[in-house]
Chains A and B, each alone.
Chain A
Amino acid sequence: MIVYILCFVLFLVGIYGAITKRDLIKIILSISILGYSVNLLFILFAYRSESIYPILSKGKEILPMVDPLPQALVLTSIVIELGTTAMLVALAVRLFEKYKTFDITQIRRLKG
């Protein structure tokens, strides 16, 4: 139970950063923290005690294994996260070129 709550605390730290920070770099970092915590919570739900990884090996008896389905889903989610991070970094760099600042309030003021 305590691990679920700690994972939720990590999620709330990410939300805190995304709401209060005005620096674009900090916002990108907090979005990646959100991603980490969600992925970890998914795998925490799937864990079954006293069982091994879901990979068969030669000449070994079949033991109880953990659930392979959440692992497959999280594997795709991690890759997509990297794509979004690259996209956000490119956008931030482009905004820096135009406005010479990472502060989102400044960027809003200079619009139009």
Chain B
Amino acid sequence: MPVEIWITYILILMIIASIAALEIEDVLSSIVAIGVVGLGVSLCFLFLQAPDLAIVQFLFEIFALIILVKAFLGKEYHKTESTKLNIILTIVTIITLTSILIFSVSVFDLLPDFGKPYMNTAQYYLDNGARETGAANLVSSVILDYRAYDTLGEITVLFTSILGALSILRIRSQMKKENSESQNA
């Protein structure tokens, strides 16, 4: 079977799973459904000849699932019953998004066909990458040699976001500690 048909099937599965993830009430089920979407993306990367990305997406999906399950499972919280305003908002949103989809279909005609990209800059990397950097993996030579500056910025973003998450969590645990100490005293 050609690649396009495989990807069509996987994308349909992913759309169904993402709608399920948003509409199911149970928290664990919706987290598992989002896992289906992420692993579908990983499978698509494998079909599109990007094994680097498939490995990274697979591992990060597992990690995100563990974070979500650890943070949200077992929290008892009260379901919000949907008001009239909420139902109207949902209907209006669905109508608007559907009309956006219908009007934007003709835009996709302007894009290059699937499997025939316009490629100018990257041809240089393919021709000279192995000779200039000495790396057999050309993706690796792009991220760490030609565009290492991008990677530096990306490490900074990762560092900052993790630091933000840590500062939020650490304030909380310190408050807990102080509370328990004052109760003991």
Contact = CB atoms under 8 A, between A and B. Distances in A.
Contacts of B50: 43, 53, 66, 71, 74
A91 B67 CA distance: 13
Interface of B: 3-4, 7-8, 11-12, 14-15, 18-19, 21-22, 27, 30-31, 34, 37-38, 41, 44-45, 48-53, 56-57, 60, 63-64, 67-68, 71-72, 75, 77-78, 80, 86, 89-90, 93-94, 97, 100-101, 104-105, 108-109, 111-117, 119, 121-122, 125-126, 129-130, 136-139, 141-143, 147, 150-151, 154, 157-158, 160-162, 164-166, 168-169, 171-172
Contact of B49 (A8, A16, A66, A86): A66
Classify chain A: how many residues form its interface, as a range: 35 or more
A110 interface: no
B114 to A, nearest CB: 6
Contacts of B166: 90
Main secondary structure of the interface of A (DSSP, over half): helix
A33 B34 CA distance: 8
